[in-house]
């Protein structure tokens, strides 16, 4: 191969590898057992000559790595993730490295996990499963694992982008929930969908669903019964859900987070869960991954899974393919193309370098 492309982790499927090989790339995949690679580990992988790297959200892509990649002649980096809070885009600009991410292919998969966590929390699935396995079930009882009915309740979505909108639609259409959302931008297509669905229900003699775009995030937190967080993580969303905001939520609300851990003050959350046994959470992400804050693991009103929201076979193969196409596209000078037929510019294209 004329070009050397490094993947810091083995990724699902073979399509991404074949795409690169067919286009004159030599693909090197790091198979070390160590789960999280350090900056030094990755500098060693980059070596003296490297045209592009596919990396992971657990890695710190800042000044050190972009300068190393640039010194090795590298022009492209793709995160195998839609989130890129682990990537310093300004540093990439400074060293002339294009940065890609993998949106689109994980929208529905991630929304489906948020829906799964919502239902698991509402119907206490994990607690009930543990009870069964512990041999505690000794007969049907009217009071056994009574949870919440979602139909007619209000789902709150904070961050109604691709994933938040897909989740909202699932909860509204699947469970006939009313919608309240908060976003800096208007979710026009989502609003149209809920309006049309409400018409459909009305025409069929059913109670129509309602929707509202909230003027503030606090309005969502106060009014919704199930709240799912879908913002990006940056300075403005760090500890978005803190002690004060937890306090304004309903005592029996359900909070779901499939975005990034630091969006919630996890210490405050643990305290809130302890004080409010009817408040439940479904968490896919944590403030100090892979760790949980002390006490969280002991709480029955928390469902916790290890950052698996995008983990469907189709999506993970799609993310790997998109990441490969991002890197290949830059090396070859192609427009960036994805399986969803969406032309997505590199994140830092047309962004002027810092003065
Ligand atoms: C996963 O967390 C992603 O951002 O793709
Ligand atoms: C419950 O199992 C019922 O039959 O109502």
163 lines ligand 1 (CB under 6 A): no
Q: For 309, how many CA atoms within 13 A lie in the half-sphere containing its CB? A: 33
* 16, pLDDT greater than 60: yes
Ligand with minimal distance to 144 CA: 2
Question: In CATH, what class is 107-304?
Answer: alpha beta
Give the neighbor-by-neighbor strand order of the sheet with 226-229.
Answer: 211-213, 178-182, 154-158, 226-229, 254-257, 280-283, 302-304
> Could you tell me if 346 and 336 are in contact, meaning their C-beta atoms sit under 8 angstroms apart?
yes
Report the pLDDT value the prediction gives residue 319, as an integer from 0 to 100. 94
* 334, pLDDT greater than 90: no
Quick count: other Cβ atoms within 10 Å of Cβ 317?
18
**Percent with pLDDT over 70 in the chain:** 94
Same fold? 3-105+312-332, 107-304: yes
The residue whose CA is least distant from atom 1 of ligand 1 is 81
Ligand with minimal distance to 57 CA: 1
CATH superfamily name and code, 3-105+312-332:
NAD(P)-binding Rossmann-like Domain (3.40.50.720)
Residue 174 CA, ligand 1 centroid: distance in Å: 24
**pLDDT range class, residue 1, cuts 50, 70, 90:** confident
Instruction: Give the residues across from 257 on adjacent strands.
Output: 229, 283
What does the DSSP assignment read for 189-229? Answer: HHHHHHHHHHHHHHHTTSPPP-EEE-SSHHHHHHH-SEEEE
Instruction: Flag the least confident range among 92-106, 196-210, 251-265, 302-316.
Output: 92-106
Report the pLDDT value the prediction gives residue 355, as an integer from 0 to 100. 37
- What span, in angstroms and rounded, lies between the C-alpha atoms of 341 and 162? 15
Q: Indicate the average pLDDT of the chain.
A: 93
> Structural domain boundaries of the chain?
3-105+312-332, 107-304
For residue 258, which atom of ligand 1 is closest to its CA? 2
* 339, pLDDT greater than 80: no
What does the DSSP assignment read for 310-350? Answer: T--HHHHHHHHHHHHHHHHHHHHTPPP--TT------TTTT
Radius of gyration of the chain (CA): 22
106 lines ligand 1 (CB under 6 A): yes
**pLDDT range class, residue 335, cuts 50, 70, 90:** low
**pLDDT range class, residue 333, cuts 50, 70, 90:** confident
* 183, pLDDT greater than 90: yes
- What span, in angstroms and rounded, lies between the C-alpha atoms of 332 and 3? 10
Mutate to test the pocket of ligand 1, among 61, 78, 110, 284 (most ligand atoms within 8 A of CB): 110
Q: Give the alpha-carbon dihedral of 75, 81, 84, 86, to 10 degrees.
A: -90
* 332, pLDDT greater than 80: yes
Which whole number is the average pLDDT over 212-236?
96
312 lines ligand 1 (CB under 6 A): no
Q: What is the pLDDT of residues 37-46, one digit of tens each?
A: 999 999 999 9
Which whole number is the average pLDDT over 171-177?
98
- The set of catalytic residues is 260, 289, 307
Residue 251 CA, ligand 2 centroid: distance in Å: 28
More confident residue, 300 or 335: 300
The residue whose CA is least distant from atom 3 of ligand 1 is 81
* 336, pLDDT greater than 70: no
* 24, pLDDT greater than 50: yes
Report the pLDDT value the prediction gives residue 104, as an integer from 0 to 100. 87
* 176, pLDDT greater than 50: yes
* 342, pLDDT greater than 60: no
Task: Kindly provide the ipTM of the predicted complex, given to two decimals.
Answer: 0.73
* 160, pLDDT greater than 60: yes
Helix (H) or strand (E) holding 21: helix 15-22
**pLDDT range class, residue 87, cuts 50, 70, 90:** very high
């Amino acid at each position: 191969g004329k070009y050397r492309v490094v993947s810091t982790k083995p990724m699902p499927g073979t399509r991404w590898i074949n795409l690169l090989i067919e286009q004159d790339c030599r693909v090197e995949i790091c198979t070390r057992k160590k789960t999280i690679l350090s900056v030094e580990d990755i500098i060693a992988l980059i070596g003296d000559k490297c045209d592009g790297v596919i990396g992971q959200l657990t890695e710190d892509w800042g000044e050190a790595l972009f300068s190393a990649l640039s010194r090795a002649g590298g022009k492209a980096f793709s995160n195998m993730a839609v989130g890129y809070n682990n990537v310093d885009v300004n540093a990439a600009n400074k060293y002339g490295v294009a940065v890609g991410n993998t949106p689109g292919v994980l929208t529905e998969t991630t929304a489906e996990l948020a829906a799964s966590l919502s239902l698991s929390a509402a119907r206490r699935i994990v607690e009930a499963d543990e009870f069964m396995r512990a041999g505690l079930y000794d007969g049907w009882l009217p009071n056994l694992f009574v949870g919440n009915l979602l139909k007619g309740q209000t789902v709150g979505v904070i961050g109604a982008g691709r994933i938040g909108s897909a989740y909202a639609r699932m909860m509204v259409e699947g469970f006939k929930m009313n919608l309240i959302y908060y976003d800096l931008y208007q979710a026009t297509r989502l609003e149209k969908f809920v309006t049309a669905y409400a018409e459909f229900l009305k025409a069929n003699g059913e109670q129509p669903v309602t929707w509202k775009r909230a003027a503030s995030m606090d309005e969502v937190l106060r009014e919704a019964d199930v709240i799912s967080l879908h913002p990006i993580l940056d300075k403005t969303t760090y500890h978005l859900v803190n002690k004060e905001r937890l306090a304004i939520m309903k005592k029996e609300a359900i909070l779901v987070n499939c975005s990034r851990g630091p969006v919630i003050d996890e210490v405050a959350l643990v305290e809130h869960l302890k004080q409010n046994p009817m408040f439940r959470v479904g968490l896919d992400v944590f403030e100090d991954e892979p760790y949980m804050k002390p006490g969280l693991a002991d709480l029955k009103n928390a469902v916790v899974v290890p950052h698996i929201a995008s983990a469907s076979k189709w999506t993970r193969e799609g993310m790997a393919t998109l990441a490969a196409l991002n890197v290949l596209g830059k090396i070859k000078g192609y427009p960036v193309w994805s399986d969803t037929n969406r032309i997505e510019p590199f994140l830092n294209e047309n962004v002027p370098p810092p003065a």
